[in-house]
Amino acid sequence: MKHSQSLVAKQYAKAFVMEYGDSLTLVDVEHMKSAISFFKRHHNFMSLISVVAKMHDKKHAMIDEIFSHFSLPQSLKKLVRVMIRHKRLLYFAQALQDICCLYGMRCGNLDVTIQSAVPLTQSEIVRFEMFFQELSGKRVISRVLVEESLIAGVRMQSDLFLWEHSIAARLRKLHQNMLIEG
């Protein structure tokens, strides 16, 4: 997604959280994350909805079906209506992700993905969580994945932060230096 598109989605998310953030629950956010996961796997889905949204009688039925399928909070329908009116429904998935991030920040939580080249032990996971908690000042909720492309090392990433110490990162830096030096 282009940077400017991301900023547009963030503005919609901020406005939504300011208006409806107190009524959101952790369950609502989990349902939103399910929808986000779907939209990531089917990235052209919102384009299709945007095209169909031009046919007024079908758009509400499709949106109702999406809300029903993912059990999304009804307050989000107001956001969708505004985004349709502004012809920015394509940003809905990113706005959902930003809403989840802002909700987590409000609650003092930070979702972090910890990737390592090899499986981590529970004590290593706890140490990485504590490290990231100190960096961010937030309570870390982690998801651990094995990512062999790191070659060796660890990458910890949230919507706001990225920390990486890996052979892959060193190789990228070496490659960039070689490009700069010619």
Q: Do 9 and 99 fall into the same domain?
A: yes
pLDDT value, residue 119: 95
Tens-place pLDDT, residues 90-111? 899 999 999 998 898 888 888 8
Domain of 17 in residue numbering reads as: 3-105
Using pLDDT thresholds of 50, 70 and 90, give the confidence band for residue 4.
Answer: very low
- The string of DSSP codes covering 54-80 is TSHHHHHHHHHHHHHHHT--THHHHHH
Instruction: Choose one of 81, 105, 129: the last residue of a domain.
Output: 105
Neighbours of 107 (CB within 10 A): 15
Mean pLDDT of the chain: 86
Q: Do 86 and 121 fall into the same domain?
A: no
Q: Do 34 and 124 fall into the same domain?
A: no
pLDDT value, residue 137: 86
Which residues on adjacent β-strands are paired with residue 110? 140
**How many folded domains does the chain comprise?**
2
Instruction: Choose one of 62, 80, 105: the last residue of a domain.
Output: 105
Mean pLDDT over 128-136 rounds to 90
Using pLDDT thresholds of 50, 70 and 90, give the confidence band for residue 3.
Answer: very low
Which residues on adjacent β-strands are paired with residue 146? 116
Supply the pTM of this predicted model. Answer: 0.67
Tens-place pLDDT, residues 24-63? 998 999 999 999 989 888 878 877 777 765 666 677 788 8
Whole-number Å distance between alpha carbons of 178 and 98: 36
Instruction: Choose one of 85, 105, 125: the last residue of a domain.
Output: 105
Phi, psi of 152 (to 5 degrees): -155, 140
